[in-house]
């Protein structure tokens, strides 16, 4: 960490800052330039907030040299994190394709969708039962009833289920049913929720907040990892920018940047990152070409009748076409779509 003093800082102020660095358990390396005095703070700094120095009199700015996270960092964990999700591996050579509707609307809807996406090549099923809706007047989800339908769909198709959790009060019921807890964009910095999930040993799909930096996403992962839960999957889902032609702006750069900075698996959600069914396949291909470890895609048997996100949901046949294209890109990248586990039930 470098503490850059103002050009008119007094020797007394420099002294105080040096004292603060030492009090934080760091060594001091002083550098007196013509333009400014810089105090290098040397040692284990990832868990020391810059703000403890920023408020000191005479300090112009404080700059980190190293990352403010450690458990999520590839520097301290050079190998990819690979872990199993009920039958396949995430983070390794295989590409994961999670698919399903925005909301679970009914038993028949989710079972029909599950069978369709499985047939098309998906290896996990998504579906929301507690919905974060901008308007209090919108459909808020089926709750536990929806979880039961999802569990039934899992029985029938053999696909693990990925479901969004909105609050730590939902943790108990979610743990009972789901294979992967999804933390949505609006909750990426719900630190109480992150800490609660860190205490479990359930896999987590952590979505980037719509105005969160890549570093903040990794800091949120660090919250979960710090609790001892190592199974964190990151997900780029588009950021908010000035461009209005699409719902969000897919930050495709985030894929290689994250693969460089962290050992955690990285997925991309082209449904939310574009907001438009017509653009989903192109961005899904781009994600895998850029090095993503998987995709999470909204599919609905009848988007025109979806209670939410119909505009960005693929029909099953369009999804099947997307999977074929993604498969071809994956092969060029020396990867493959994770094979589908055999269903456990007979008669399907």
Residues 75-114 that bind its own copies (CB under 8 A): 75
49 binds its own copies, rule: CB under 8 A = yes
Give the closest residue to 222 by CA, choosing from 71, 78, 79, 80.
71
Q: How far is the CB of 195 from its own copies (least distance, A)?
A: 8
Region binding its own copies by CB under 8 A among candidate stretches 82-90, 109-117, 144-152, 241-249: 241-249
CB closer to its own copies, 305 vs 348? 305
Report yes or no: 183 and 207 within 8 Å, Cβ to Cβ: yes
Write the binding mask 249 to 268 for its own copies: x where contact by CB under 8 A, - elsewhere.
xxxxxxxxx--x--------
Structure tokens at 258: 């994250």
Report yes or no: 226 and 198 within 8 Å, Cβ to Cβ: yes
What span, in angstroms and rounded, lies between the C-alpha atoms of 288 and 267? 9
Give the closest residue to 348 by CA, choosing from 80, 159, 197.
159
Region binding its own copies by CB under 8 A among candidate stretches 66-74, 90-98, 117-125, 152-160: 66-74
Q: Which of 226, 318, 321, 335 binds its own copies (CB under 8 A)?
A: 226
Region binding its own copies by CB under 8 A among candidate stretches 110-118, 151-159, 279-287, 339-347: 279-287
What span, in angstroms and rounded, lies between the C-alpha atoms of 68 and 87? 34
Write the binding mask 313 to 342 for its own copies: x where contact by CB under 8 A, - elsewhere.
x-----------x--xx-xx----------
Q: How far is the CB of 123 from its own copies (least distance, A)?
A: 21
CB closer to its own copies, 22 vs 240? 240
Residue 165's SS3 state is strand
Contacts of 331 (CB under 8 A, 6+ apart): none
What span, in angstroms and rounded, lies between the C-alpha atoms of 78 and 210? 28
CB closer to its own copies, 334 vs 347? 334
For 242-262, b where at least 16 C-beta lie within 10 A, e where not — what string? eeeebbbbbbbebbeebbebb
CB closer to its own copies, 37 vs 203? 37
Instruction: State the sign of the Cα–Cα–Cα–Cα dihedral 196, 198, 200, 203.
Output: positive
Footprint (CB under 8 A) of its own copies, residues 157-176: 166-169
Q: Which of 14, 21, 69, 81 binds its own copies (CB under 8 A)?
A: 69
Structure tokens at 11: 């020797």
């Amino acid at each position: 960490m470098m503490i850059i003093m103002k050009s008119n800082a007094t020797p007394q102020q420099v002294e105080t800052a040096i004292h603060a660095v030492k009090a934080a358990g760091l060594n001091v390396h002083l550098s007196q330039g013509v333009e400014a005095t810089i105090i290098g703070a040397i040692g284990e700094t990832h868990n020391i907030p810059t703000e403890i120095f920023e408020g000191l009199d005479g300090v112009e700015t404080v700059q980190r040299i190293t990352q403010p996270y450690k458990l999520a960092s590839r520097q301290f964990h050079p190998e990819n994190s690979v872990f199993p999700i009920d039958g396949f591996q995430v983070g390794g050579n295989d590409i994961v394709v999670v698919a399903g509707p925005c909301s679970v609307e009914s038993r028949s809807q989710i079972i029909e969708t599950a069978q369709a996406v499985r047939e098309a090549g998906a290896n996990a099923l998504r579906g929301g039962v507690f919905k974060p809706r901008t308007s209090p007047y919108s459909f808020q989800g089926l709750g536990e009833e929806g979880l039961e339908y999802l569990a039934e769909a899992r029985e029938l198709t053999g696909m693990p289920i990925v479901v969004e959790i909105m609050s730590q009060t939902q943790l108990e019921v979610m743990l009972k049913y789901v294979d992967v807890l999804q933390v949505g964009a609006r909750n990426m910095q719900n630190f109480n929720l992150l800490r609660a999930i860190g205490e479990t040993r359930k896999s987590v799909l952590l979505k980037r907040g719509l105005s969160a930096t890549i570093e903040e996403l990794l800091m949120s992962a660090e919250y979960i990892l710090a609790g001892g839960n190592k199974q964190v999957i990151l997900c780029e889902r588009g950021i908010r920018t000035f461009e209005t032609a699409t719902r969000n702006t897919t930050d495709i750069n985030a894929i290689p940047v994250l693969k460089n900075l962290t050992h955690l698996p990285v997925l991309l959600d082209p449904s939310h990152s574009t907001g438009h069914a017509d653009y989903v396949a192109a961005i899904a291909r781009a994600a895998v070409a850029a090095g993503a470890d998987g995709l999470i895609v909204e599919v609905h048997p009848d988007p025109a009748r979806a209670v939410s996100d119909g505009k960005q949901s693929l029909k099953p046949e369009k999804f099947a076409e997307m999977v074929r294209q993604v498969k071809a890109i994956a092969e060029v990248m020396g990867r493959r779509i994770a094979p589908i586990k055999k269903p456990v039930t007979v008669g399907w």
